[in-house]
Amino acid sequence: MLFDGSIHQLPDTDPGETEEWLDSLDAVVEVQGKTRARYLLSRLLERARASQVSFPATVSTPYINSISSEYEPWFPGDEHLERRIRAYIRWNAAVMVVRANTKAEGIGGHLSTFASSASLYEIGFNHFFKGKDSGTPGDHVYFQGHAAPGVYARAFLERRLNEDDLDAFRREIGRHGRGLSSYPHPRLMPDFWEFPTVSMGLGPLTALYQARFNRYLLNRKIDDTSASRVWAFLGDGECDEPETLGSISLAAREQLDNLVFVVNCNLQRLDGPVRGNGKIIQELEATFRGAGWNVIKVIWGSKWDELLARDTSGALLNKMNTTVDGEFQRYTVEDGNYIRENFFGPDPRLREMVSHLSDEDLQNLPRGGHDYRKLYAAYRAAIENTGSGRPTAILCKTVKGWTLGDDIEGRNATHQIKKMTDAQLKTLRDRLHLNEEISDADLEAEDPPYYRPPVDSVEYQYMIERRRALGGAMPRRTTTVRKAISLPSDEVFKEFETGSGEQSVSTTMGFTRLLRNLARDKDFGERVVPIIPDEARTFGMDSLFRELKIYASQGQKYEPVDHDMLLKYAEASDGQILEEGITEAGSLASFIAAGTSYATRGVPMVPFYTFYSMFGFQRVGDLIWQAADARARGFLLGATAGRTTLHGEGLQHQDGHSLVLASTVPACRAYDPAFAYEVATIVREGIKEMYGESLSDVFYYLTLYNENYPMPVMPESSDSNKSIVEQIMQGLYLWKSAPTAKHRASILFSGSAHSAASAAAAELLERYGVGCELWSATSYKLLREQALEVERWNRLHPEQQERQPLVTELLDGGAGPIVAVSDFMRIVPEQVARFVPSRSFTPLGTDGMGRSDTRSALRRHFEIDAPHIVVAVLHELAKSGEIKSEVVGEAIKRHGIDPEMAFALHQ
Ligand SMILES: Cc1ncc(C[n+]2csc(CCOP(=O)(O)OP(=O)(O)O)c2C)c(N)n1
Ligand SMILES: [Mg+2]
């Protein structure tokens, strides 16, 4: 494992001595066995480490607790009271789910996840998790999504929630939306949950980047986050998600000793065992240790200590090491005799070791994750690890459904069980020793009762006192500002209004310039967080490296190869740019950490995450959804947008649908700007919307293109009641009115399609006497949402004067056909087609899969070039009888369009 043959390439300076050591080892193996040999080697390694002989760490250790009992610290809590409190919480969490499912069959909820992890959380609540009451950012705790009932149950005991609230678990409609969300959703419970976690893998990933962002803020001297720790609770099954483990090496590389993962290793996921034929804890240990983490295993409860102490032969350790998880799961559901016969029994030494224990004793030998002393020791060690530079993973072995009785505990179906019979509830009550609090008669009532100790009880006082000492209740989301942000000055945006003159530039270049201006702004500048996943050169953003510097927690320890160049690769510990490397998921996690900083720590930060638009919504759509749930604010910039504007890259790179995907995210303001002044306006207004007076919890998505053309001057408003800014922001405005001509038409363009639209308008006028108005459609999503709202209002107010959707108001009274063209799929403009009922509406777009070719070839292929726009307009005019169909045919021929050409959609 350590050498893999490489040892033979090292010089042996004393072969005789080497031989002696090897012979000794051979003798030990032969005479005393392999276990003894392993022991001696471990001792040697330990001694070597103590003597500073650097040596690669082994990636796995035996299947026992990392902290032996003699090293356990004093447990400072009141064991008895904490046990009582845990019992109440366990009870209420279970009853809450049971009651919800009695009232509404199938409403769901989970009993067994929290049942397995109650102690994991309670140790944190009573002794570790720091709140924000003292005016600090506090700790950031990511709760396992399916453990939500337990978190509600504690809040109930603390009197943050009442019985009605618990009865509204998963019933979020009505009660003014004050139900308890199924899982941690800040979007639904903005005063309670901070971090959405339920989509497996996203919790750990975003927690990791949160810890990194704390360091970023500290190193940039924006906020003192040095005392904040990030705790992420996750399932062992969840570790199969690539997002869970995919970034752990970053945590070690960045020395995030402010990060703790607590993995609830109940050995089960939804359908069955996580690793029936292996050992998930060992596997995770190797993975985390290999990545440079500090790993603490909490496998066995205190009652095993005595047995391990007597295991002088190593037989017990060997049995622990060789038993697979499927067998361990079996032991949880079988009786003590089965354990005696099958775990201990086959080896006479082990049988003898437990001969003094009854079957019941054997059944009650608990797993470490249910032992608060062991857990306390592990958490303490994690805290004390601060300064080591290593993040900590605590791997806790638990039983899924622990205390819920034989029918539920450890069963393969346990994850899905949501109901309990009266008899099962009685067993639970007895198991939790709640006979005094909950009588048999109580259990016979229609609904099992909740229980919470009175305010003057010692239990209540204890838990409140503990939370007070630790800085207040958790979880709690607040938007109290600790460090206010000031908006950028208008100067930042000014230059974009005057256009680029003769110079051809792209909207991407315009945006990069804008980003630099924003970062230079005296007050606002430091709050700008540029995020890029190894694509800065593609977007021309490498020009920002030298000025803003790339964040590197260790600074730059080398002179870069391009040190003498203007655009050198400059890293600094207080660098501003998060150059994430090739991880769109990690970049999005940084976007979320920065975009929620206004709430997480009361320090608004403004992320600008620029990515290859194809690898945005499509690649990390679930994280974008999570950002919406987390109420993240900021800007997503889909660069190299469009299926024909990015020409050479082909099918995997050309994005013609991110705007379709963006249309599915309610909190996303999606724009497809054509010109630099539009980009600047949208960014300025977006900052105001998110960070100014209205403080909307939304984020913006802007497409940016890499096609160069002269950027026009910002036009005057075409509507006396609205400024040009309002017009740009509303999603559609008249960019150029129609010249007087025989026929009329409207061409709507977005993004890079504007040049084809302008060329088509010119040809239509010159050759066919059609005067076209040109509209810039900056956001069909916004137009549609506004139209839907009006439509609904009209439906529900039948006796009042009908209102008109904005898009109807703008277009429906116009003359001639409408042709809408963009570099995206036809469905994008089609979103508003039915709101313009009295005119024909033809969308042109890039349906089909991309391919590599020149822009002009691609635009012909997808039928969005000027000739196709001309044909579309003429065809509609012919349909309405304004011109003859031969005119259309002539245009098709003249432009060399092959009418039998295969449709791009099908290719
Ligand atoms: C991305 C994703 N896929 C699937 C699910 C459905 N799901 C919910 S819980 C669960 C099993 C969780 O097992 P584990 O992580 O071991 O947690 P435990 O409940 O055992 O603590 C699954 C598959 C989900 N929530 N998210
Ligand atoms: Mg599990």
pLDDT at 1 over 50: no
- Whether 399 lines ligand 1, by a CB cut-off of 6 Å, is no
Q: Are 324 and 282 in contact (CB under 8 A)?
A: no
Q: Is 264's C-beta closer than 6 angstroms to any atom of ligand 1?
A: yes
Identify which ligand lies nearest to the alpha carbon of 401: 1
Q: Which atom of ligand 1 is nearest to the CA of 236?
A: 16
Ligand 1 proximity of 576 Cβ (cutoff 6 Å): no
Q: Which ligand gives the minimal distance to the CA of 397?
A: 2
Q: Are 502 and 531 in contact (CB under 8 A)?
A: no
- CA atoms in the 13 A half-sphere facing the CB of 762: 7
- Over residues 321-325, mean pLDDT: 97
Index of the ligand 1 atom closest to the CA of residue 112: 19
**pLDDT above 60 (res 417):** yes
Q: 198 in ligand 1 pocket by Cβ < 6 Å?
A: yes
> Over 80: is that where the pLDDT of 219 sits?
yes
Residues in the chain: 907
Is the pLDDT score of 410 beyond 70?
yes
Give CA–CA dist 742/252, Å, rounded. 71
Q: Which amino acid is at 86?
A: R
**How many angstroms separate the CA atoms of 407 and 420, rounded?**
10
146 lines ligand 1 (CB under 6 A): yes
Task: Write out pLDDT tens, residues 504-551.
Answer: 999 999 999 999 999 999 999 999 999 999 999 999 999 999 999 999
Tokens of 719: 């509507």
Distance 813 CA to ligand 2 centre (A): 61
CA 469 – ligand 1 centroid, Å = 34
Compute the distance from residue 116 Cα to the ligand 1 centre, in Å.
14
Confidence of residue 3 (pLDDT cuts 50, 70, 90): low
Residue 791, helix vs strand vs coil: helix
Cα torsion 441, 443, 444, 449: sign: positive
Q: Which residues of 291-301 are buried (b: 16+ CB within 10 A; e: fewer)?
A: bbbbbbbbbbb
Q: What is the mean pLDDT of residues 496-503?
A: 96
Transcribe 339-382 into DSSP letters: HIIIIITTSHHHHHHTTTS-HHHHHT--BGGG-HHHHHHHHHHH
Q: What are the counts of helices (DSSP H) followed by strands (DSSP E) for the chain?
A: 36, 20
For ligand 2, the distance from its centroid to the CA atom of residue 672, given in whole angstroms, is: 43
Tell whether ligand 1 has an atom less than 6 A from the beta carbon of residue 415: yes
Ligand 1 near 268 CB (within 6 A): yes
611 CA to centre of ligand 1 in angstroms: 29
Q: Is 844 in the pocket of ligand 1 (CB under 6 A)?
A: no
Q: What value does the mean pLDDT take over residues 308-327?
A: 94
Going from the C-alpha of 670 to that of each of 201, 682, 701, 740, the distances in angstroms are 26, 10, 5, 34
Q: Name the band, by pLDDT with cuts 50, 70 and 90, for residue 4.
A: low
Is the pLDDT reported for residue 236 higher than 60?
yes
Ligand 2: distance of its center to the CA of 97 in Å? 19
Q: Is the CB of 266 under 6 A from ligand 1?
A: yes
Q: Which ligand is nearest to the CA of 271?
A: 1
Closest residue by Cα to atom 25, ligand 1, is 199
409 Cβ closer than 6 Å to some ligand 1 atom: no
d(CA 224, CA 219): 9
Asked if pLDDT for residue 436 goes beyond 50, the answer is yes
CA of residue 543 to ligand 2 center, whole Å: 47
Q: Is 623 in the pocket of ligand 1 (CB under 6 A)?
A: no
What number is the average pLDDT over the span 680-688? 98
Q: Which atom of ligand 1 is nearest to the CA of 239?
A: 15
Q: Is the pLDDT of residue 319 over 80?
A: yes
Give distance in angstroms: CA of 876 to centre of ligand 2.
61
The residue whose C-alpha atom lies closest to atom 22 belonging to ligand 1 is 270
Give the Å distance between the CA of 237 and the centre of ligand 1.
6
**Three-state DSSP state, 731:** coil
- pLDDT of 371 above 70: yes
Return the best residue to mutate from 120, 121, 144, 270 for the ligand 1 pocket (most ligand atoms within 8 A of CB): 270
State in Å: Cα 342 to ligand 1 middle.
31
**Is there an atom of ligand 1 within 6 Å of 203 CB?**
no
Q: Give the distance (Å) from ligand 1 centre to CA of residue 269.
A: 6
Ligand 1 pocket residue status of 556, Cβ below 6 Å: no
Q: Which of the ligands is closest to the CA of residue 417?
A: 1
Q: At what angle do helices 584-595 and 617-629 cross, to 10 degrees?
A: 20
Give the DSSP letter string of 553-579. TT---S--TTTTSTT---EETT--BEE
Query: In this structure, which residue's CA is closest to atom 19 in ligand 1?
Result: 113
**199 CB within 6 A, ligand 1:** yes
Distance 233 CA to ligand 1 centre (A): 13
Q: Is the dihedral of CA 749, 750, 754, 760 positive or negative?
A: negative
Report how far ligand 2's centroid is from the alpha carbon of 399 (Å).
Answer: 9
> Are the C-beta atoms of residues 608 and 531 closer than 8 Å to each other?
yes
> With 60 as the cut, is the pLDDT of residue 42 above it?
yes
Average pLDDT over residues 811-822: 97
b/e map 616-637, b = 16+ CB within 10 Å: bbebbbebbbbbbbbbbbbbbb
pLDDT, residue 37, reads: 92
Pairing of strands 259-265, 230-235: parallel
- Verify whether ligand 1 is closer than 6 Å to residue 235 (CB atom): yes
pLDDT at 177: 78
Confirm whether pTM is higher than 0.85.
yes
Query: Ligand 2 mean position to 415 CA, how many Å?
Result: 9
Closest-lying ligand 1 atom to the alpha carbon of residue 116: 21
Ligand 1 mean position, distance from CA 251 (Å): 23
Q: Indicate if the pLDDT at residue 877 is higher than 70.
A: yes
The pairs formed by 465-471 with CB atoms below 8 angstroms and a separation of 24 or more are 466/77, 466/125, 466/126, 466/127, 467/125, 467/131, 467/158, 468/133, 470/127, 470/128, 470/129, 470/130, 470/131, 471/130, 471/131, 471/132, 471/133, 471/134, 471/136, 471/138
What is the per-residue pLDDT across 274-284, written as a single tens digit (0 to 9) for each? 999 999 999 99
The CB of 311 under 6 Å from ligand 1? The reply is no
Q: Which amino acid is at 339?
A: I
User: How many Cα atoms within 13 Å fall on the side-chain side of residue 187?
Assistant: 17
Which numbered atom of ligand 1 lies nearest the CA of 266?
A: 20
| C-alpha distance from residue 257 to each of 31, 228, 505, 717 (Å) | 44, 11, 45, 55
Percent of the chain residues past pLDDT 70, beyond the cut: 99
- Cα 591 to Cα 529: distance, rounded to the nearest angstrom: 8
8 pLDDT band, cuts 50/70/90, is: confident
Cβ of 270 less than 6 Å from ligand 1: yes
pLDDT, tens digit (0-9, with 9 covering 90-100), for 283-297: 999 999 999 999 999
- Identify the nearest ligand to the CA of 325 by its number: 2
Q: Which protein residue's CA is at the shortest distance from atom 10 of ligand 1?
A: 270
Give, for ligand 1, the residue of 200, 205, 398, 414 to mutate: max count of ligand atoms closer than 8 Å to Cβ.
Answer: 200
**Ligand whose nearest atom lies closest to the CA of 241:** 1
Question: What integer pLDDT is reported at residue 303 of this predicted model?
Answer: 95
- The best mutation among 112, 114, 238, 623 to test binding of ligand 1, ranked by most ligand atoms within 8 Å of the C-beta, falls on 238
Inform me whether the pLDDT recorded for 39 exceeds 90: no
Residues 98/425, Cβ–Cβ less than 8 Å = yes
**Nearest-atom index, ligand 1, CA of 274:** 16
Distance 239 CA to ligand 1 centre (A): 10
The dihedral sign for the CA sequence 605, 214, 468, 147: positive
Q: Assess whether the C-beta atom of 596 lies below 6 angstroms from ligand 1.
A: no
Q: Can you tell me the mean pLDDT for 455-461?
A: 98
Instruction: Yes or no: say if 80 and 312 are a contact pair by the CB < 8 Å rule.
Output: no
Across residues 320-331, what is the average pLDDT? 97
Ligand 1 pocket residue status of 237, Cβ below 6 Å: yes
Q: Mean of the pLDDT values across residues 498-502? A: 96
pLDDT at 7 over 80: no
Residue nearest to atom 4 of ligand 1 (CA): 200
Q: How far apart (Å, rounded) are the C-alpha atoms in residues 530 and 548?
A: 9
Nearest ligand atom owner, CA of 145: 1
Task: Provide the mean pLDDT of the chain.
Answer: 96
State the closest ligand 1 atom to the C-alpha of 264, by its place in the atom list counted from 1.
21
CA distance 262 to 231: 7
pLDDT of residue 175: 82
Ligand 1 center to residue 654 CA distance, Å?
A: 33
Distance 112 CA to ligand 2 centre (A): 10
